Amino acid sequence: MPGEQLMYIGGRWIPSQDGLWLDVYNPATGAVLARVPSACARDVDAACQAARTAFDAGVWPAMAERARARILFDAANLVRERRQQLAMLEVTNSGKPMQDALADVDEAAYLLEYYAGWITKLSGEVLPVGPDAMSLVLREPMGVVAAIVPWNYPLLMAMQKVAPALAAGCTVILKPAEQTPMTALELPEIFELAGLPSGVFNVVTGDGPGAGEPLVRHPMVDKISFTGSLEVGKRIQRIAADSVKRVTLELGGKSPNIIFSDADLERAIPGTCLGVFWNQGEVCSATARVYVEDGIFDRVVELIAQEAKKVRLGSGLDPATTMGPLISQSQKRRVEAYIQSAQDDGASLVVQGALPVNPELSGGFYVAPTVFVGAAKHSKIMMEEVFGPVMTLTRFTTESEVIDKANDTPYGLAAAVWTRQIDRGLRVGKAIRAGTVWINDSQPAPSEAPWGGYKQSGFGRELGRQGLEEFLETKHLFIRLH
Ligand code: ADP
């Protein structure tokens, strides 16, 4: 019998006031893992009241900086102490391989430390406004933050928002994705043990329409930090406009990966595969549109095919697994529909990897690595985000041609460029309209560096100093001296 997990509002563990529940699955087997409250608008209201009261009473924003930092450092230590348990929950709930889940937990702990460090270093400015006055620029917390996160990196995405929001002095309502609430529900105890006052951090579980949207509409919320689909992002921006809420949107991508003929293929081939197959391709920055210079195209197709065939699908708990299942049955169907559409639009299948044979995994949501050549320029597979392990390989001849191709997308989250000529790497990197460009790598997102999109991949930045500033207001204090 799967266990019941309550949600956490105002320092108390509670069910939904409507008495409704959501089943949470293990995507490796299709079995129900647990059930969590399906929050309704009244629950969201309670969470917003708790976060608002904690903010307005100053229990967190007015606490001494070093005391606030201490709490986040202690929380980081608690995350590290619970590393195995958190990773195990992440694997069973999200499907990702154990080594990836462990890396996510480590980075979540580091994010708490990184932003804890900022608390005692953040400063304002004094501006030159003449001899008779003084202008001070203060950085103040924005207030109550709604953090709405997706299911592909449940703990990490939550922490990318929660750590800087808390460091800024904000209070937080976290809404994990309905598919993956399990690690988010471990955070309240961690923060409580670290000494965070009640009401400062709340977790509301539920789906988008039932819990996410009331949060976005709630008048007590000052700032929404959202990571998810383009459609929901647009909807949130529209709703937020009614009360001029501050919004950060981290949306989808259809990122290019460019391999020049002088690239070091020993790095470029595994790097390119990782760029599309890592985390089952459920990565907003997946570099799924692969462009290869004409002279090496056939060779690269062959090498990518060999590399893709090495991927071992299975349960994330099996140490031999390098790729887990997709998150849900509906995501599996969606990805399979994209694979079908690519074929219908004339692309040729070069590789389709093997599915797991273990009968215990027959109910899991597996899709094998899939590689196409010859996809038509503006076909769905070239334009839309698949969020699955599907790659297209396309030829190019000149640098300017490939820059045009790379930019031929409504998105602009990331790009990868593989070349031994650093001047070319930098030139192409500057010409691509995307928030992150990797040269001779794909996918690193260091917590110290800003992360976010150009164009319809969203706006605002997470991580780094910029990720903290998203949760700060700027105040000007003017003082007349004479
Ligand atoms: P995905 O396609 O990755 O599931 P979504 O954008 O649907 O992405 O979901 C990302 C997060 O946004 C989840 O936590 C989900 O519950 C939430 N969400 C979905 N719809 C809404 C909505 N209308 N308002 C607020 N949050 C929503």
Looking at residue 203, what is its pLDDT?
A: 98
- Looking at the predicted structure, is the pLDDT value of residue 424 above 80? yes
- Segment 141-151, tens digit of pLDDT: 999 999 999 99
With a 6 Å cutoff on the Cβ, whether 213 touches ligand 1 is yes
With a 6 Å cutoff on the Cβ, whether 249 touches ligand 1 is no
Q: If DSSP codes are grouped into helix, strand and coil, which group holds residue 84? A: helix
Which amino acid type is present at position 104? D
Mean pLDDT of 235-257: 97
In angstroms, rounded to a whole number, what is the distance separating the alpha carbons of residues 301 and 304?
5
Looking at residue 353, what is its pLDDT?
A: 86
Looking at residue 354, what is its pLDDT?
A: 87
Are the C-beta atoms of residues 347 and 374 closer than 8 Å to each other? yes
Query: Nearest residue CA, atom 9 of ligand 1?
Result: 228
With a 6 Å cutoff on the Cβ, whether 150 touches ligand 1 is yes
Q: What percent of the chain stands above pLDDT 90?
A: 99
- Looking at the predicted structure, is the pLDDT value of residue 459 above 90? yes
Q: Is 401 one of the catalytic residues?
A: no
With a 6 Å cutoff on the Cβ, whether 177 touches ligand 1 is yes
With a 6 Å cutoff on the Cβ, whether 385 touches ligand 1 is no
In angstroms, rounded to a whole number, what is the distance separating the alpha carbons of residues 425 and 464?
24
Which class for 235: exposed (0-12), middle (13-18), buried (19 or more C-beta within 10 A)? middle
- Segment 135-188, tens digit of pLDDT: 999 999 999 999 999 999 999 999 999 999 999 999 999 999 999 999 999 999
Q: Is 250 one of the catalytic residues?
A: yes
Mean pLDDT of 282-307: 98
Looking at residue 188, what is its pLDDT?
A: 98
Are the C-beta atoms of residues 274 and 369 closer than 8 Å to each other? no
With a 6 Å cutoff on the Cβ, whether 52 touches ligand 1 is no
- Segment 71-116, tens digit of pLDDT: 999 999 999 999 999 999 999 999 999 999 999 999 999 999 999 9
In angstroms, rounded to a whole number, what is the distance separating the alpha carbons of residues 225 and 145?
7
Looking at residue 10, what is its pLDDT?
A: 98
Taking the centre of ligand 1 as the mean of its atom positions, its distance from the CA of residue 377, in whole angstroms, is 29
Which residues have a Cβ under 8 Å from the Cβ of 419 and sit 6 or more positions away? 258, 260, 262, 263, 425, 428, 439, 440
- Segment 51-71, tens digit of pLDDT: 999 999 999 999 999 999 999
Are the C-beta atoms of residues 420 and 435 closer than 8 Å to each other? no
23 pLDDT band (50/70/90 cuts)? very high
- One-character DSSP codes across 144-168: EEEEE--SSSHHHHHHHHHHHHHHH
Looking at residue 456, what is its pLDDT?
A: 98
Give the residue among 439, 393, 437, 390 at the shortest CA–CA distance from 262.
Answer: 439
- Segment 333-380, tens digit of pLDDT: 999 999 999 999 999 999 998 899 999 999 999 999 999 999 999 999
Taking the centre of ligand 1 as the mean of its atom positions, its distance from the CA of residue 280, in whole angstroms, is 20
Query: Nearest residue CA, atom 27 of ligand 1?
Result: 208
Q: What is the chain's Cα-based Rg?
A: 23
447 pLDDT band (50/70/90 cuts)? very high
Query: Nearest residue CA, atom 14 of ligand 1?
Result: 177
Taking the centre of ligand 1 as the mean of its atom positions, its distance from the CA of residue 113, in whole angstroms, is 28
Mean pLDDT of 256-279: 98
Taking the centre of ligand 1 as the mean of its atom positions, its distance from the CA of residue 482, in whole angstroms, is 55
- Segment 215-232, tens digit of pLDDT: 999 999 999 999 999 999
Query: Nearest residue CA, atom 20 of ligand 1?
Result: 208
> Which tokens go with 410?
């409504």
Q: What are the backbone angles phi and psi of residue 74, rounded to the nearest 5°?
A: -65, -40
Taking the centre of ligand 1 as the mean of its atom positions, its distance from the CA of residue 112, in whole angstroms, is 25
Length of the chain: 482
